[in-house]
Structure 1
Amino acid sequence: MSKRYFTIGMAGHIDHGKTTLTKALTNVDTDRLKEEKERQISIELGFAPLYEDQELQISVVDVPGHERFIRQMIAGVAGIDLVVLVVAADEGVMPQTHEHLQILELLGVKNGIIAITKINRVEEEFIDLVKDDILEELKGTVFENAPFMLVDSITKQGICDLKNMIINDLKKLGQRDIRGAFRLPIDQVFTVRGQGTVVRGTVFEGTVEEGQALMIMPKGLETRARQLQVHHKPAKHAFAGQRTAINLAGITKEELQRGDVLVSSEQFIVSDTIDVALQVVSDLDYIVKQRMPIKCHIGTAEVMGRIVFFDRNEVKDEEREILCQIRLEEEIVTKRGDRFIIRRPSPQETIGGGWVIEPKGEKYRFGNNTVEELERKKEGTPTERILAVLKEAKSLSKQELLKRASITGAELETCEHNNEIYFYGGKEFTLFSIYETINQEIDERLQDFHNKYPLKQGMNKAELIQLISKGYPRKLAEFVLEQGIDESDFGKIDQFIFGKGFSPYIPKNWQKRVENMLIDMSRDGYKVKYLNDYLSKAGIPNDMVTDLKRFLEETHEIISLDAQFYWCIDHFTAAVERVKSETSLEFEIGEAKDILNLSRKYMIPFLERLDELGYTKRVENKRLWQPIVK
């Protein structure tokens, strides 16, 4: 797919013109709440479409600037590809400018543009002073060389130039990973009359399509993407980097909250203990103490927890990365490499941030040994990174594996002979343990199916693959199944899959009833009742009827004349031999009626069945015996 999807963020101090600038760029007022209109400040995240052509689609997130709404700000910038840092020309760098800048760096946002707004309010010489003020603030940060744009949102001065700069900068970026499992951290939940519950967020990775089965984690709720919208327009698909609204089936608004994550599979890790690489901000006002309460912001979630150090008991000034652990009061959805922010609850202060080394940490002893172990986890050998990535993704192509494990082709080659890594289908990688787990799951699902439906030949292949694909990539599930069939772990007849050595059977507690039914049918000979009458008299439950009919036909106990009448196979065979022996090469209905002493009610279905089986061929009012009886 050639088209790329990006989301940019507007960040900066309150009342520096982020929302007005967003409106100037997009012609959309992102302050939609009554309170926002009355107070003239952004409280919730605002979104707007910025640009779209054949190559790009760009959305804007306008984040609140007030310090009381830092939570919304962090949720908004999580997952953006470029930030426009807004600084008003008449005020310069302010506290929230500084804090937003810290948060952007800690979240790993590397692409930025500095927009100096309200330039018509000040003299040109003052703008130069503001520039110097900003450059001083940016010194030593990833935005140190970010370009400046001078704009006035009311007169539209510089707006076109800023928009073009955004577009050109994003054209230089690579596309996010639209393959693999879908993940969307939810930042808004609301209801639409007549539609139900709708969630919004930026697609972090993967692709979602209309009608797709999804899960809400960490709650474990199952749902379905009833409808999708991108830029307020219906869409069949949404891709990584897009702002997306999804109408969810079977879920109420009250069941969801900001911070929940919408995913396409259960492969994402749910955890309340994460091992992290933490970078503390350079200007902490207060000492960070061992096990002190903190607020952890990750994705769009805000969760209370405690910070646990293994080589110190407090931090005030520290330029180096600290390897430590965050123990949370609630479970979150995360993976290796996810960025996070931690803040002091009271007095409120951004402590620092970093990235997740191990999403499912354990309890460790205090001491350097633990720090050294975390360092090994952080660095990881190529093999360790491959194993970690495949454990999460389950299956990856060579290019995907190189990218996600951050290794070279040569490093991959040295690891390919590792007995834990399995190369399959000539182009995909997985783990032997995953292969064996899928094989075992197939076997268990087949055994469960046979126990529940012992009369059926087996499970429909498409249904089996669909069930396995809920937890594993479809192509991998199909490969394991085909290998299992080739190696006789499973059997296959037509589209039905069955466990090794399985044959359909009548459950023991129903065998006597079926036997009595067949005796009744045999006793009635050719002049049988409707088959359903025999089944009902024998006490066969309705949910067994269809399978039992098929089973008795496949095991040659009975044969259908039509949808209502069935004969025991012995009687049918005897009738065929008797009519054939007492007629010539061709015969009429009347001859057969006299031989078997049957009415047309039975005779017509019987003769038509002979035609279907190829025993006879009808020519006008006569039937001809065929030379080869099938």
Structure 2
Amino acid sequence: MLIGTAGHIDHGKTTLIRALTGVDTTHLPEEKARGITIELGYAFAAIDGDVTRGDPAAAARTLGFIDVPGHERFVPTMLMGAAGIDYALLVVAADDGVMPQTREHLAILHLLGIARGAVALTKCDRVEPARIAEVQADIAELLASTALAGSPVFPISAITGDGIDALRAHLLAIARDEDACPPDAGFRLVADRRFALAGAGTIVTGTVRSGVVGVGDTLLLARPEGFRREVRVRGLRANNRKADTAGAGSRCAVNLGGIDFGEIERGDWLLHPALARPTDRLDLRLELLADAPRKLGQWASVTLHHAGGHAMARLVLLDDALEAGGLAPGASALVQAVLDRPVFACCGDRIVIRDAAGRETLGGGRVLDPFPPSRHRRRPDRLALLAVLERPDPAERLAGLVASAPLGLELDELAAAHNLPEGRWQVLLPQAHHLQGKTGGRVFSAAAWAALGEAVLARLAAHHEAFADEPGVERERLRRMCAPRLPAPAFLARLEALLAEGRIARAGSAWHLPSHTVELDRADRRRADALLARLAEGAYDPPWVRDLAEACEIPEAEVRSLLRRVAMCGEVFQVVRDLFYPRATVARLVGIVAELAERNEGRVRAADFRDLIGGGRKRSIQILEFFDRVGFTRRIGAGHGLAHTLRGEAPVSGENQEGRVTIAPP
């Protein structure tokens, strides 16, 4: 269990920890010279027996103490230490009583969601019993409106030793009842120190925020601004003991291989690679302190503290606080924080905001969505989604989140947002929550999966009715008709599932309903083969329908009808009205377009395409526009800058997917 001190400067925090553990947490010469804490200090005491003896597994049965500075100039350092603690030890001197930093530190503990703690009423040897009773009453009144209301108060003197044993016994009893944190999340640690140790190499220290790390693990050392380095865990010390593993709440020193300590900065993250997804926007439930000096209006500028670092942020009010003219002291609201630099954050992380100058604590809250949209952020459906994200139960929260996503959710983003890497989302989202599972890198509710399939079927039916002579719809074109915001791999997975169920069929690159078919008798098949042969002979300039009709002595209307029926099976493609290209020729044209795109940085110009196929400019434009229409390319630019870029699936995907005509019996 990790215990963090809090309180005003010179109220005896460091002296108290020394009395409880025998460890002096000050280590800087300046701290010793000035008699104040400047940097975070750490001390450890075994729950059972001496901290220096015992097996490595005893690290989990060790009390860890973080001593934080009490001076108002060092509140950011205090925030770094308090962010990872399990239990708060508020220190109040009996002679001074409640002081400004007592109030600010207590407010920070409340905003960080730390609901367990005790109060050490120090320097009781300096005052009369009446003064002790008076300060105890002040403390009870101070705690009443916070998460630490009702916490026990221990009058002590670190000089005489009075009350130290009672406080130590209380802390040990709490620690013995502490449940181990389940390893159901990815590993996260913010480095607060880094150094090189002779014979060992690079060491980083920090508090494990979530997950478990073990010797031999491969992790990512990263900072949100872009630095990334894969590192290997060579050794561990957890709560001042050599250990093979360390879990959430442990003070951990990690010996890293693969990096020099000079490359590491304070505030860098050591984490599971799936969680290294930066964001510069956070949707929050923000609470303003009751004694905050003013309302926070739309686009208010604040300093936002998260984990081991801070960023300047602008606040966008999302709910009723906007109509009320701002977020009033003592109230809470949904806000979006727009940051001036990225952070690594997960749903449930706690943040604290201070004024823009970083001098006064204003409020704090909890991250709801670390990857929110920048547009339509106040729409009713978006606010309803944030209400779902406020649910306390993780399984209920995730089930509601997925149920509210008609196009599913990206699994990588879901894992990073909720700290559920390596498929842990499946534990919280079993089939009982109506999940379809992993599909194209996304997860869908059963209802959303079924609705997407019905949308595809309805759109194909409408298209067949309107264009009965077309073979179907190419994949990318169909995606734009049904779900343009759905990523192409996920849409393809849905089509393939419908194909496997026999609810749709495919002819070449065209998807269609099974009932949308064509059958040719033997006579039509012979005439079709003759037409296909003449089209193939024409290469990149095949004959028009009227020329085919004249050459084959077939009425023009019958040639047009027959070729359209053959096109429904993917053997020919209608580029423009009355101009058909056989499948093999289209495959060669696809290759030419792909080659040009590779040569010219992804751009295909009509003039270059014309030179390679040997036709006129008009014909080149017709072919490229056909590729645009079926979703293979996209037209960009205008005038002399007009070009086409590769966009999606080619109309000819391979011989294994070639559609064939069914020949009816004579």
Both proteins in one fold, TM over 0.5: yes
1:317 is aligned to 2:323: no
Offset at 1:247? 2.2
Report the equivalent of 1:337: 348
1:378 is aligned to 2:390: yes
Report the equivalent of 2:203: 198
Offset at 1:100? 0.6
Q: How does 1:296-315 map to 2 (within 5 A)?
A: 296-311=304-319, 312=321, 315=326
Offset at 1:123? 0.7
* Compared CA separation, residues 42 and 329, structure 1 to 2 (3 A): same
Report the equivalent of 1:420: 437
Offset at 1:132? 0.9
Question: Is the CA contact 1:389–1:401 (under 8 Å) kept in the aligned structure 2?
Answer: no
Report the equivalent of 1:617: none
Report the equivalent of 1:13: 8
- Report which stretch shifted further, 187-196 or 11-20: 187-196
Offset at 1:267? 3.6
Q: How does 1:379-394 map to 2 (within 5 A)?
A: 379=391, 383-385=399-401, 388=414, 392-394=419-421
Alignment partner of 2:29 out of 15, 29, 34: 34
Q: How does 1:472-551 map to 2 (within 5 A)?
A: none
Offset at 1:372? 4.3
Q: Helix, strand or coil: the match of 1:72?
A: helix
* Compared CA separation, residues 57 and 232, structure 1 to 2 (3 A): closer
Alignment partner of 1:22 out of 10, 13, 17: 17
Residues 566-624 of structure 1: per-residue CA shift (max 9 Å, x gap): xxxxxxxxxxxxxxxxxxxxxxxxxxxxxxxxxxxxxxxxxxxxxxxxxxxxxxxxxxx
Report the RMSD for the aligned CA atoms in angstroms: 2.8
Alignment partner of 1:69 out of 65, 74, 82: 74
Residues 225-270 of structure 1: per-residue CA shift (max 9 Å, x gap): 2222234443322222210111222323443223221113324532
Offset at 1:172? 3.2
Question: Is the CA contact 2:293–2:329 (under 8 Å) kept in the aligned structure 1?
Answer: no
Report the equivalent of 1:177: 182
Question: Is the CA contact 2:317–2:326 (under 8 Å) kept in the aligned structure 1?
Answer: no
Question: Is the CA contact 2:183–2:212 (under 8 Å) kept in the aligned structure 1?
Answer: yes
* Compared CA separation, residues 86 and 401, structure 1 to 2 (3 A): farther
Alignment partner of 1:51 out of 46, 54, 64: 46
1:273 is aligned to 2:281: yes
- 1 CA distance for matches of 2:193 and 2:277? 22
1:230 is aligned to 2:243: no
- 1 CA distance for matches of 2:239 and 2:14? 17
Offset at 1:207? 1.5
Report the equivalent of 1:262: 270
Residues 84-125 of structure 1: per-residue CA shift (max 9 Å, x gap): 100001111111110111110111101010110011010111
Offset at 1:330? 1.9
Q: Helix, strand or coil: the match of 2:273?
A: coil
- 2 CA distance for matches of 1:172 and 1:233? 21
Q: Helix, strand or coil: the match of 2:337?
A: strand
Alignment partner of 2:131 out of 126, 129, 132: 126
Question: Is the CA contact 1:119–1:150 (under 8 Å) kept in the aligned structure 2?
Answer: yes
1:241 is aligned to 2:249: yes
Offset at 1:336? 0.7
- 2 CA distance for matches of 1:361 and 1:295? 20
- 2 CA distance for matches of 1:60 and 1:335? 26
- Which amino acid letter does the alignment assign opposite residue 419 of structure 1? Q
Question: Is the CA contact 1:310–1:365 (under 8 Å) kept in the aligned structure 2?
Answer: no
- 2 CA distance for matches of 1:347 and 1:201? 24
* Compared CA separation, residues 319 and 368, structure 1 to 2 (3 A): farther
- 1 CA distance for matches of 2:156 and 2:297? 44
Report the equivalent of 1:252: 260
- Report which stretch shifted further, 274-283 or 47-56: 47-56
* Compared CA separation, residues 86 and 392, structure 1 to 2 (3 A): closer
Question: Is the CA contact 1:259–1:302 (under 8 Å) kept in the aligned structure 2?
Answer: no
Q: Which runs of 5+ in 1 are unaligned?
A: 1-5, 406-411, 423-429, 434-630
Question: Is the CA contact 1:228–1:246 (under 8 Å) kept in the aligned structure 2?
Answer: yes
Question: Is the CA contact 2:294–2:329 (under 8 Å) kept in the aligned structure 1?
Answer: no
* Compared CA separation, residues 366 and 275, structure 1 to 2 (3 A): closer
- 2 CA distance for matches of 1:319 and 1:372? 23
Offset at 1:296? 1.4
* Compared CA separation, residues 302 and 192, structure 1 to 2 (3 A): farther
Offset at 1:64? 0.7
- 1 CA distance for matches of 2:423 and 2:242? 31
- 2 CA distance for matches of 1:361 and 1:432? 19
Residues 429-468 of structure 1: per-residue CA shift (max 9 Å, x gap): x9589xxxxxxxxxxxxxxxxxxxxxxxxxxxxxxxxxxx
- 2 CA distance for matches of 1:364 and 1:262? 32
Question: How many residue pairs end up in the alignment?
Answer: 412
* Compared CA separation, residues 394 and 239, structure 1 to 2 (3 A): closer
Report the equivalent of 1:82: 87
1:104 is aligned to 2:121: no
- Report which stretch shifted further, 311-320 or 283-292: 311-320
Offset at 1:347? 6.3
Offset at 1:359? 1.1
Q: Helix, strand or coil: the match of 2:73?
A: helix
* Compared CA separation, residues 366 and 176, structure 1 to 2 (3 A): closer
- 1 CA distance for matches of 2:69 and 2:397? 41
Normalising by structure 2, report the TM-score. 0.58
Report the equivalent of 1:605: none
- 1 CA distance for matches of 2:247 and 2:335? 34
Report the equivalent of 1:163: 168
Offset at 1:187? 1.9
Offset at 1:222? 1.4
Percent of paired sites with the same residue: 37
Normalising by structure 1, report the TM-score. 0.61
Question: Is the CA contact 1:281–1:352 (under 8 Å) kept in the aligned structure 2?
Answer: yes
Question: Is the CA contact 1:288–1:315 (under 8 Å) kept in the aligned structure 2?
Answer: yes
Question: Is the CA contact 2:18–2:24 (under 8 Å) kept in the aligned structure 1?
Answer: yes
- 2 CA distance for matches of 1:135 and 1:350? 22
- 2 CA distance for matches of 1:214 and 1:418? 30
- Which amino acid letter does the alignment assign opposite residue 50 of structure 1? A
Question: Is the CA contact 1:284–1:316 (under 8 Å) kept in the aligned structure 2?
Answer: no
Q: Helix, strand or coil: the match of 1:70?
A: helix
Q: Which runs of 5+ in 2 are unaligned?
A: 49-57, 403-408, 446-666
Question: Is the CA contact 1:295–1:303 (under 8 Å) kept in the aligned structure 2?
Answer: yes
- 2 CA distance for matches of 1:257 and 1:366? 34
Q: How does 1:599-610 map to 2 (within 5 A)?
A: none
- 2 CA distance for matches of 1:162 and 1:142? 20
1:215 is aligned to 2:214: no
Question: Is the CA contact 2:188–2:272 (under 8 Å) kept in the aligned structure 1?
Answer: yes
Q: Helix, strand or coil: the match of 1:127?
A: helix
Question: Is the CA contact 1:276–1:325 (under 8 Å) kept in the aligned structure 2?
Answer: yes
Find runs of 4+ consecutive structure 1 residues off by over 6 angstroms: none
Q: Helix, strand or coil: the match of 1:266?
A: helix
Report the equivalent of 1:599: none
* Compared CA separation, residues 193 and 15, structure 1 to 2 (3 A): same
Q: Helix, strand or coil: the match of 1:294?
A: strand
- 1 CA distance for matches of 2:203 and 2:415? 32
- 1 CA distance for matches of 2:311 and 2:17? 30
1:147 is aligned to 2:163: no
* Compared CA separation, residues 122 and 297, structure 1 to 2 (3 A): same
Offset at 1:343? 0.9
